[in-house]
Amino acid sequence: MSGGVMAIAFSLPSSFGISAIAGIPEAIAEVPYSYTGQYLKHVLQQYPPQPEVQNGAED
């Protein structure tokens, strides 16, 4: 994970564990106990993120 970005899990009262998680898809995919993270990890393996395209404009 680059740039120090992380996923934040919110532990709310629930019989199912973590109720919400926030972060970029790559960070959420690294949370081993997240069902959403497990799904995202599978999807990101099939469709890796593409590098950002520069529009060629000069600042």
pLDDT band at 51 (very low <50, low <70, confident <90, very high): confident
pTM > 0.85: yes or no: no
Q: Which helix (H) or strand (E) holds 46?
A: helix 35-46
Per-residue pLDDT at 27 exceeds 80: yes
Q: Where are the beta strands (DSSP E) in 1-59?
A: 8-10, 20-22
**Counting beta carbons within 10 angstroms of the beta carbon of residue 58, is it exposed (0 to 12), middle (13 to 18) or buried (19 or more)?**
exposed
Condensed to tens digits (0 to 9), the pLDDT of residues 29-42 reads 988 888 888 999 99
Average pLDDT over residues 19-24: 80
Average pLDDT over residues 5-31: 75
pLDDT of 52: 81
